[in-house]
Chains A and B, each alone.
Chain A
């Protein structure tokens, strides 16, 4: 289908949008070709592409600019499949209500339990409409979707002739709609040059509030300078960090925004001029080598690290620490070695690390290689084993009271101890239920814990 065939009006729409969405002209043309009101429209349509490739925004702004009747359903806001159907029906109803003020007495009850109900609702509501576009944004990540949802939605257009269903998905496997002949529009990831070009549309300021007085500087040169400096900076970020770890546009933008302030700090101080890009880059090369900018964190400012040190005062009670240590030992040591490691009556005769016995022979590697135990997943243990290890490792006598069980319950609610299957694993009162240490209890964590208690953890860990 050549572009020449398109009417002028549509060409105008594409022309307006391609300024707003740079590097997306082919996709806009395809959309226009498929959804143009003057041409016949397909019943279903798929727009797919990786994260942050502009699928949703472009579809939305195209539909808005071309003034087509449409509704966009955000699938990530829908909790169940039924929720999706009800919201779809309600949204279509609402969009028609607001458009047609003349108030056709279409009463809508809102019951939409299954797909067939949706079909009949839509059939009734769209009777008078000449063309309607229904967009499901992110339908591939819908929660609790029934397996027939996608194929059924794809065939909506067969029942309602004036409806086009548009699916926006991240990944379109072959025949995922179980329906042949559905046109697909691919939104490829932005390349290096495209990403940099898009980002350079909105450069950040070099000077946040006021210009330094000693420089002869005004608003105009500032705008010029930042237009010059920002794309070069973005290119440097792409080459050093983003091309391997933050390829999509939004995370690339995040990284650039995070690094920009520290990057231009020497300009603030007056060490470099605004156009000394290469010297600035060399001076600030630490920024591009450090990968911490790539990881997200809940606490926005890294200066908040100080309070983490303070929070050490909130550590666990004394016995909770020992219980956790015992749990770790029970999780990582095999039960058959318990007698060697925890018997109090016998003198411990353990082979030290590396020191073999006479029989262990030369350096011949054993047939089945053994992984260090702390790299393996924790194995479940019964509660009595934990308690007996606790008795064995405590440096003093111990009177077991209800408090121990309360501690175990507290640790369980903190997910430091978790229940692990076994017969009747779900029931805490079932005898012989198994436990294991939670995922947060790593080897390093336990080592720290042992250090605070002055406990020789290595003496008890089976190698």
Chain B
């Protein structure tokens, strides 16, 4: 063994001694099936989200590429052409505009695309090295036969930060454009950036450079940071990337797509969107949240097996049906069936798995259809808001969250909207009816509204005063307030102004229209919690996400140190009763926890000798001083490692308190 440097481990027995459970049991048995179903479902959903995100940047992307093409055709000799993409702070994500520009430029044979991020750039030499390396490597990969030409270059070897290398490369391959992109412009040092730009500018007559800056703050900020000479080197044009809130809305509409197998519930969605605007502006995070919701639903909820519409009853283990029957909504469903006198059907569902499966699939299809109907109604609300004057259009996500939590029906917003429909003038009303008819609504309502629209058109055509639109009786403008003073008392009396016959007829039509709309909204905005088997296809659990996406590291460390008993669960240091949870010191607690509690009681500067004496007093008792000192020193080192204390120059025998509790 001693003379061997390594050896191949060959176990004699392949089977481990302990018998493993190779077959999962109970509800876990369907895990493989569910995993497959998840992969399928997420793939569909993910491609939907990708499509949505690809469409959002298409305009800005087109602008940037046309700009780059323009420069190839009409080069600017004196200044470096520069595209400045204004994007939000979360623009470093993989879906951002700059990466899309990169992929579109890289597909071009005669162009080079180099990304210089702040991590690769401590000083000018390193930046140039990276720039040359990336530029000369990007095409060489697919043209293997050309690689010799770069190596067998005539003349002396050049330093690897010499732009001459890039120049010769560009000249040999007839490169038209070298795009240098800075994805995080702000993070690059300003002196470095200025120097780099001036250097690139001096080579501009030989190498056709183009710069692309990704600016998260503002152009003024960038200009302030650059030296005057560097600013003079640039000739910029602004491009505006779509804001992250628009991205979030797009992703949301992909999530709430009618064909989605799983609906993400309102509380989860609300918290995700709120976090989006509060903290992060990266759309990837939102996509991650949705993916995690899918994963936790499929992996943890055994009933998600029923989400697959093509599932057969023989592939589902029997205990899944038992679980299904025990759902709250399923119990309520059967009970309501019995109350309605449909007892044989109820018995069937309780006894036959096949019947139950058929019923579940039917009810789920019905439930999803009503959710789809609800989202269509939300679209109708938004189109009405769009058409009505002086009404702000709500975000679709907000409406969705309100509707899913059953807060939209009869809300103040809806009432105001219907009221302003009643007050609308005839031209607005015609537009409203047109847009409502164009929406994807149920046929009977559509017919009613179409007939109303026809009546309105007739009325308007027959109206005498064609220049003025017809007015509704409910409009405030058609009633006047009259003030009379009788015996020193003011009487206010409302009086309807005279309405023409057409106006009266118009009012009648408008009232009918708004009644139809109200009925339509009432039927659409159902309570999703009342749908049978809603637990299966609506996922709405917040806590797994909270633990995973927003952990609280500092709080966890502090809590573990202040109340170690909660974690250790030992008998020795259980808090005494009557002190209701107040942390107490005892010698049985870990030394670091004891020291931390002493630390919390002290001021900014802690005398280590005092701390040691206090520690000794707490831990005291029968232990040797040497043993205690070991514990003390280790605990202090642990606190220091956790970033709680540091040594201070002010006093040699003191340590400084650095972290305060509860921040």
Contacts and interface: CB of A to CB of B under 8 A. Distances in A.
Interface string A397-437: 00111111011001001111000000100000111100000
A431 B659 contact: yes
Nearest to A403: B279
A384 interface: yes
B1 interface: no
A388 B241 CA distance: 35
Interface string B208-234: 000000001111011111101001101
B663 A316 contact: no
A77 B162 CA distance: 9
Contacts of A320: 89, 279
A298 B82 contact: yes
A415 B224 CA distance: 13
A440 interface: yes
Given A311-B240, A314-B88, A297 B157 contact: no
Interface residues of B, dominant DSSP:
mixed
Interface stretch (A240-248, A270-278, A300-308): A300-308
Nearest to B551: A402
A432 B82 CA distance: 41
B552 A297 contact: no
Contacts, number: 169
Contacts of A407: 279
Contact of B235 (A82, A86, A300, A310): A300
A413 to B, nearest CB: 5
B116 to A, nearest CB: 15
Given A79-B125, A110-B157, A311-B86, A300 B553 contact: no
B228 A296 contact: yes
Contacts of A401: 550-552
B243 A314 contact: yes
A430 B555 CA distance: 19
Contacts of A318: 277-279
A82 B159 contact: yes
B503 interface: no
B26 to A, nearest CB: 35
A452 interface: no
Interface residues of B, number: 74
Nearest to A318: B278
Interface string A360-388: 00000000000000000000001010011
A83 B224 contact: no
Contacts of A310: 240
Contact of B663 (A79, A300, A387, A440): A387
Interface string B175-213: 000000000101100000001001100110000000000
A414 B156 contact: no
A430 B641 CA distance: 9
B473 to A, nearest CB: 41
Given A109-B156, A296-B231, A317 B236 contact: no
25 contacts: A77-B163, A77-B199, A80-B125, A108-B156, A298-B82, A298-B219, A304-B237, A304-B238, A307-B86, A313-B243, A313-B245, A314-B86, A317-B89, A384-B663, A400-B552, A403-B275, A403-B278, A403-B280, A410-B89, A413-B184, A414-B186, A416-B217, A431-B644, A432-B646, A440-B221
**What 8 pairs between A and B have smallest CB-CB spacing?**
A110-B156, A431-B643, A401-B550, A298-B236, A432-B658, A313-B243, A387-B663, A403-B279
Interface of B: 82, 84, 86-90, 118, 124-125, 128, 155-159, 161-164, 184, 186-187, 195, 198-199, 202-203, 216-219, 221-226, 228, 231-232, 234-238, 240-241, 243-245, 275, 277-281, 550-555, 640, 643-646, 649, 656, 658-660, 663
